[in-house]
Amino acid sequence: MQLNHSPQVLKQSYNLLKYTFVIIPIVAGVDKFTNLLTHWEKYANLSIINLLPFSTSTFMMIVGVIETIAGIIVLKKPEIGGYIVSGWLTIIALTLLIGFNYVDIAVRDIVMSISALSMARISKIIE
């Protein structure tokens, strides 16, 4: 089977993934400070939170900073940023699965992780 897709289709698909992984981490990261989209602390694994020397709220703000920076890295260096976002989403999914809480969100994060990884690999072709 031969594929006759134009480079333009690949570029469009890549851009869709790239800007998704710029916008979503930044929006989620900033929302860790406002909790407008959801109350993020409810997703924290208590086993991990109990080990921290600060509050869950402070932890979520640190997570928010990391997510915002990851989105900016995707914008500037898509390959590196894609690997960072993919790894980050995998870690989040694993912490949710360890506590067997929010399994639906863990599965969604794994799918998004695969998408971010795909975007990073495609960036080698496009950029």
**pLDDT 10s digits, 33-82:** 999 999 999 999 888 889 999 999 999 999 999 999 999 999 999 999 99
Residues in the chain: 127
DSSP state of 55: -
- So where are the chain's domains? 8-126
Could you give the CA distance from residue 104 to residue 90 in angstroms, rounded to a whole number?
14
CB 97 within 8 A of CB 47: no
| pTM for the structure as a whole | 0.90
Average pLDDT over residues 87-115: 95
pLDDT value, residue 47: 87
Burial of 106 (0-12, 13-18, 19+ CB in 10 A): buried
